[in-house]
Every structure is written in structure tokens, then in C-alpha cells.
Amino acid sequence: MSVTGEDEARSDRRFKAPRSLRRAAMILPPILIGALVLVWQITGREGPQQSSARETARVVRVVEARATDFLPRAEGYGLVEPGRVWEAVAQVEGRIAARHPDLDRGQILEAGTELLRIDPTDYELAVARAEASLARIRAQLAELDAEQKNLEASLEIESRGLALEERELERQRKLLARGTVSQTSADEAERNLLRQRQSVQELENELRLLPSRRADLEASERQSEAELKEARVDLERTVIRLPFAARIARIDVEATQFVRSGDRLVTADSIDTAEVAVQIPLERMRTLVPPDLDVTGLSAGQLSELARNVGFKAEVRLPQEGFDMPWTARFDRTSDTVDPQTRSLGVIVVVDKPYGAIVPGQRPPLTKNMFVQVEISGRPRRDKIVIPRIALQGGAGENPTVYLAGPDDRLILRDVTPGPEQGDVVVIEKGLEPGERIVVTDLVPAIEGMLLEPRLDEALMQQVATAAAGPGSAR
């Protein structure tokens, strides 16, 4: 019996079906086992453990509030100027006959040094003429004194002769009345009397003219004395001397040059004092004045002396690095106006002996036009709480606040009343007590009551103390 193609196809399908089932039976058991294990692990695991929440402390830098002395100060910058500037101006004309060998710019010369000499010949002749004129007038006065004495002596003699003639005339008249003498004798006696009276009258007239002659001669004498004095002054003016120790700043004349009256010859700057003018803001000047000082009712003169009487002190320094030695200065005066743009007041301080105590490399001489820093300080204010400026919180329009680390190391926000500010520090008038810890770290956000881990900043505390008491406290 033969097998057809259809029968063979049915036979192949019967043989393939059992092989697919065998493969499925081999895959399904591992999958079921893995699923059972996973279900067992999930159902058998415990839930996650939950721990209780803990608060984290914020590390902050703090400084301790301490009562210290606060020295109010104000700073400004300016140029050094000599305390006095002397200009030698020719008061007489003539040729320069002599010049000091050291007369050069920058030279320092002692007081009384002869710098220049103008040819004195003409002025010596003028002195000689004035002396001769004065001698002639004084000789005439002496002659007048002798003439007066002679006239007075002659007048005395003539007066005695007049008395004799009067008695003689009286005797002749008596004799004429008796008839003893003639009329001619009596007339002759009368003529003698008249002549004698005329002689006395002439002498008296001459004596009366002597005072006017004397006054004229005395006026001439005074005029000659003035001319002699003027001639001598002109002669002295031919010598140009330094009135004080000074440094030569400018020379406008050469040897043998002809100068006229009014010509400038030499300019010199004094070396005994130097001045520095600086502009200080009015707010800074106000902090220098003691708060308990009452200036109401003071006159203008008293106000002008106030700055010197409140005990201002001043120091001058070079702003360049390496020059650490200051000059002690004194507060001398204030300017007469306030700068309307900067609202600052001009202050002039004076340094005595700016060329003294020179230390090479540390303190040079304080010369003209040197740019310097001026620090003016007032009276110290005792037992003030001074804190770093960075510790003061609050912007424009807000009440000033400081952050404190409380006894339990939790943040406290405290309103305070600030006082004068100076550099990087500020005085707190109200709101703080000595011993409280002030936070200087910038806290964002700052939540009152938050836990802190304070760390004392000793270096910053030392900086605050130095800034409050002034740089001199650290030296």
C-alpha cells in the first residue's frame, strides 16, 4: 500500500506538536520559582526605620562687647605750606654790588644772613649831605643862643643907663625950677633920656624876634634830621638780610644787575613752622566736640577760640608705605567759610620745627607741597561700647539691629542706638551691655532663636580696640 503526500504532511504535524510543549515545560518552572521568591522577599521585609529629627547649630564668629575708651578722630589730606613766606623787594634802586655765595634755590640760611648788597655810594653821599646840613643848622642855633645872651646882657646895661638918665632928667628939672641951670641943660638931659629909651627899645625888639628865628631854625633842624634819617634808612636798605632762618625758594636777580624800587629780588620760606590746610566734613568735626559742651550764647570771638580750647590734637603723616613716624602738630585755626559742595570745613594745623628730628627712610623733612595725611583727635570718651561696623544690621529706613549669641547659644535680634562712626567701628550708645557676644558673621536667613555655635574672634576684637583708642595705643 502506497503512502500519499497528504498523509506525510499529517504525519509531520503530529510529530512537531509534542516538541513545543516540551520547550514550554522547561521555561515555565524557573519563572514561577523566581516569582515566588520575589513575593516572599517583599512580604517578608520590615518597613524603613525612622529616626527622630535633630537641630544643626550654625557656626558663627562673635566678638565680646567691652567698655573701652573711644578717641574721636577725623582725617583729611592736604599740601604742606611754610608758616611764613618772605619776599625781598628792592626799596631803593641801584646796581647789585654783592651776592652771598650760597644764595641758591633750596639752600637753608640762618637768620640775619646778608643775601644781597646794592651799591651804597649814592646813599652814603646822601647821608653825608644830610649830616652837613644838620650841622650847619645846629651851628646857627648855637649862634642864636650866643646872640640872645649878648642881647640880654646889652639890654641889662642899657636898662641901667636908662634909669640913670631918668634920674638925671629929674635932677635937671629940679635945678631948673630953682634957677640953678638953664633950660638948655634940662632939654639936653631929656634928649639923652629919649636916646637911651630908644636903645633899650631896639634891644627889646631884637630879643622879641629871636623866638621866631629860633623856631625857623628848629624846623630846619627837624627837617634835616628827617632827611638824615631817611638817607640812613635808604643806606640800610641797600643790604638785603634774611629776617629769619629760611629756605631759598626763588631768586629773581643776578650779580651786577640794576634793580629799581619795587623789584622782587628773593623769595624764602621759613623753616621754623609748616602749615597744612585740610577739609574735614562737618559731621566728622561734630564728633570731635565733647557732647556735653554747650556752645549756645557764645560770641563770635569765643567760638573762634573754641577749637583751641576743647583740646584738639593733631598728627601729620606721610600716606606712603614705609614712612611710619608722624609729626606732632597743633590745631591752629579754622577757615572763614564752609565748602558748599562738600559740606566740609577748612582746618589749618601747624607743625613746629618741620626740619628737625629727621630720620632717614622714616621721617624726611616736611617740605613745601608735600602731600600728607592729617589726623585730628578730640578728647577721649570713657567707657563706650564699640563694635565692628559689619556687626550693625539694617538698611536705609530700618532700625539698626545687632545679632547676639544668647546665653543658650541661640540667636537674639537686638535694636540698638548707634553713635559716632569711625573707620570700621561704631559706638553703640544704647542697647548693649558689656560681656554680650555680638555675631559678626552674615546670617542669611537670620531667624531669632536659631541655634548657633559661637567662636570668639580675638583678632577682630584687637582690631576694634585699636580702632577705638587710636593707632597710638598700639605703639
Domain 61-68+384-474 belongs in CATH node 2.40.420.20: yes
Kindly give, in sequence order, each residue whose CB lies less than 8 Å from that of residue 415, ignoring residues fewer than 6 positions away.
Answer: 399, 400, 401, 431
Residue 202 DSSP symbol:
H
Q: Dihedral, CA atoms, 262, 264, 266, 267, nearest 10 degrees?
A: 110
Report the first-to-last Cα separation within the chain, whole angstroms. Answer: 134
Order across the sheet with 437-439: list the strands: 411-415, 401-405, 437-439, 58-64, 452-456
According to DSSP, the β-strands at 452-456 and 58-64 are parallel
Q: What is the pLDDT along the chain (475 residues), one digit of tens a residue?
A: 444 445 544 444 444 445 555 555 566 666 666 666 565 565 555 555 554 557 788 999 999 999 999 988 888 999 999 999 999 999 999 999 999 999 999 999 999 999 999 999 999 999 999 999 999 999 999 999 999 999 999 989 999 998 998 898 888 888 888 888 888 888 898 899 899 899 999 999 999 999 999 999 999 999 999 999 999 999 999 999 999 999 999 999 998 999 999 999 999 999 999 999 999 888 888 788 777 666 555 554 555 566 666 778 899 998 887 777 889 999 888 887 778 888 888 889 999 999 887 888 778 889 999 999 999 888 888 899 999 999 998 765 567 899 999 999 999 999 999 988 888 899 999 999 999 999 999 888 888 999 999 999 999 999 999 888 876 554 3
CB of 381 closer than 8 Å to CB of 70:
yes
According to DSSP, the β-strands at 67-70 and 411-415 are unpaired
**Residue 320 carries which side chain, given as an amino acid letter?**
Q
According to DSSP, the β-strands at 381-388 and 425-430 are antiparallel
Domain 73-78+272-291+300-377 belongs in CATH node 2.40.30: yes
The residue extents of the domains of the chain are: 61-68+384-474, 73-78+272-291+300-377, 89-120+238-270, 122-236
**Residue 67 carries which side chain, given as an amino acid letter?**
A
61-68+384-474 and 89-120+238-270, same CATH topology = no
Rounded distance between C-alpha atoms, residue 54 and residue 72, angstroms: 48
Residue 473 DSSP symbol:
G
Q: Where are the alpha helices (DSSP H) in 274-399?
A: 282-288, 300-309
Rounded distance between C-alpha atoms, residue 117 and residue 214, angstroms: 41
Rounded distance between C-alpha atoms, residue 420 and residue 392, angstroms: 13
Helix (H, G, I), strand (E, B) or coil at 232: helix
CB of 425 closer than 8 Å to CB of 468:
yes
Rounded distance between C-alpha atoms, residue 309 and residue 303, angstroms: 10
Class of domain 89-120+238-270: mainly beta
Rounded distance between C-alpha atoms, residue 455 and residue 64, angstroms: 11
